Amino acid sequence: MSERGIDNAGRGIRRPGIRPRPSLWRRLDVSARIAFPAASTALLLLMMAAPLGLTGQAALQAAVGLACVFFWSLYRPASMPPMAVFLLGLLADLLSDAPVGVAVLTLLVLHGMAMRWRRVLARQGFLVVWLVFSGLALGAALLEWLLTAALTFRLLPPGPAIFLGVLAAGLYPVLAVPLIRAHQTLAEPDHA
Global pTM reads 0.85
148 contacts: CB under 8 Å, gap ≥ 6: 98, 99, 102, 156
Measured in degrees and rounded to the nearest 5, phi and psi for residue 97 equal -100, 10
Task: Answer yes or no: are the C-beta atoms of 173 and 124 closer than 8 Å.
Answer: no
- pLDDT of amino acid 81: 96
- pLDDT of amino acid 120: 95
Please give the average pLDDT of every successive group of 10 residues along the chain, which has 192 residues: 48 64 84 92 95 88 97 94 97 93 97 96 95 97 96 93 96 95 78 49
The whole-angstrom separation of Cα 183 and Cα 177 is 10
